[in-house]
Amino acid sequence: MRLFIATKATVPIYYNLQKQFFDSINGKWVSSSNLHLTWKFLGDIEDTQDIIDRLSLVTPLKKQIELEYVSLLGKPPRVLYIGIKEQNIIYQKAEELKSVGFDIDRFKPHITLCRIKHISIPKYQKALEKTPKNLGFLHQQIALYSSTLTPKGAIYKKIFSV
């Protein structure tokens, strides 16, 4: 099974964001039901018990965390994402995950919206000006998910959560 540890995100204005950036970005948009913060991609693992045992030692986030801005990753840009407001809380939780044996390296907290095939930077910058400040929130639960890749996109299944 392809496994990853994540926290679900809710973005009530997701479809509005897709419309807002329609003229500037051509790419593959993540399904709204699959929006999440990835703590750690674990890869292909069959026996989940050790992961569940370690994850059970972690506490959930103490509160929902606001999502506050839209930006790009990569040069040239390859990902349109939402940034997280209280990153200090997220980095503290990443340290907690490290303390139970999850190797979290090069961690950049974000919610992927779209994998970019082509972008018009001038049109993107104009669309960005219209982005509201409160975009949604991260849930408190931290979960182990399996990911099945299909031609229509990934299918996620929650296996365990704290």
Tell me whether residue 98 is exposed, middle or buried, using C-beta atoms within 10 angstroms of its C-beta: 0 to 12, 13 to 18, 19 or more: middle
pLDDT-based confidence at residue 84 (cuts at 50, 70, 90): very high
The pLDDT of residue 150: 86
Token code pair at residue 42: 């674990």
What is residue 46's three-state secondary structure?
coil
Cα separation, 47 vs 40, whole angstroms: 17
Selection from 41, 66, 68 nearest residue 133 by Cα: 68
The stretch 131-152 carries a mean pLDDT of: 93
- CA dihedral over 81, 84, 88, 92, signed as positive or negative: negative
Is residue 2's pLDDT more than 90? yes
The stretch 60-68 carries a mean pLDDT of: 96
pLDDT-based confidence at residue 76 (cuts at 50, 70, 90): very high
All structural domains of the chain, each given as residue ranges with its CATH number in brackets, are 2-161 (3.90.1140.10)
18-60 pLDDT tens trace: 999 999 999 999 999 999 999 999 999 999 999 999 999 999 9
Cα separation, 84 vs 138, whole angstroms: 8
